[in-house]
Amino acid sequence: MKTQTLLTTQRWLVEPEPPQPDAAVRLICMPYAGAGAVVYRPWRQALPSRVALSIAQLPGRETRLREDPVRRMELLIEALTEAVAPLAARPYALFGHSMGALVAFELARALRRIGVPPPVCLFVSGRRAPQLPETEPHVHQLADGPFVGAMVRRYNAIPRVILEDIELLRLFLPALRADLEVIETYAYTSEAPLGCPIVALGGASDVRATADDLEAWRTQTAAGFEVVQFPGGHFYLQTERRALIDQIVRALGGQQGAER
């Protein structure tokens, strides 16, 4: 059983070099739709040695390209819960951007249900609070052309090098489409507020995660809460990476061990 758990953890979580086995706290990051672990790898060099970094690697991309992507939130959370639970004996925090914010939130709730200690902090980025009704039409079932057009208009998130290479686009689309299906079939259910602090982060000009949308996360915690906005839009975390990481490190400095 221990061997199987180790294999599950190593399969679903990537730890960029150099590892930090003696770190005071572990930051576990959830990717946004269509993304893989590579988007957070540069964070390792910006984080202090007291913060270890683990990144969720979802099926259907990068090292797991040949695997079928997951299309339902509950299946994603089931697998991530098994992978993350063994790490929760020591202080840890969860971070997620956009879709990843929903995943991190539901993961925190799933870990609570099986008696795992809570994260010292939950960082939710670029995503309106889960209890707010969705206002955008579903797109995951559209044909490839309209689907790509909708993604470009909504997020402008597909790199030009992929858009201009049909073979790369064919490799990229299944994971992106599956992630949109995860988001669009997600159904929020009410539970007691989490016992860990929540920091809601976003871009000041992000129309899909406004200040009010971020503020609405307050009801999901019985502990501390803060909203922090940065210059930029939905993908502010690319242009404001240093400032975002500094904010996370400051928050972790005040929370290590607070819930232990």
Annotation marks residue 98 as catalytic: yes
Q: What is the model's pTM?
A: 0.91
The confidence score (pLDDT) of residue 194 equals 98
The confidence score (pLDDT) of residue 76 equals 96
In this prediction, the residues of the chain whose per-residue pLDDT falls under 70 are 1-9, 157, 254-260
Q: Torsion-angle region of residue 28: left (phi > 0), alpha (psi -120 to 50) or beta?
A: beta
User: Which residue ranges form the domains of the chain, and what is each CATH number?
Assistant: 2-132+190-255 (3.40.50.1820)
- Bridge-based pairing of strands 198-203 and 13-14 is unpaired
The confidence score (pLDDT) of residue 248 equals 98
Encode 59-87 in three state secondary structure: CCCHHHCCCCCCCCHHHHHHHHHHHHHHH
Is residue 25 within 8 Å of 58, Cβ to Cβ?
no
Q: Where are the alpha helices (DSSP H) in the chain?
A: 2-12, 43-46, 73-84, 99-113, 144-154, 160-163, 166-184, 211-215, 236-239, 241-255
Is residue 106 within 8 Å of 73, Cβ to Cβ?
yes
- On the question of a cis peptide bond just before residue 18, with omega within 30 degrees of 0, the verdict is yes
**Which residues are within 8 A (CB) of 26 and not within 5 positions of it... i.e. 6 or more apart?**
51, 52, 53, 54, 87, 90, 91, 92, 93
Query: Residues 49, 98, 125, 205: which is the catalytic one?
Result: 98
| pLDDT tens-digit map of 134-167 | 888 788 878 888 888 888 777 776 777 777 777 8
Q: Torsion-angle region of residue 30: left (phi > 0), alpha (psi -120 to 50) or beta?
A: beta
Structural tokens at position 168: 């790369």
User: How far is Cα of residue 24 from the mean position of the Cα atoms in its chain?
Assistant: 21
Q: Give the whole-angstrom CA distance, residue 260 versus residue 256.
A: 8
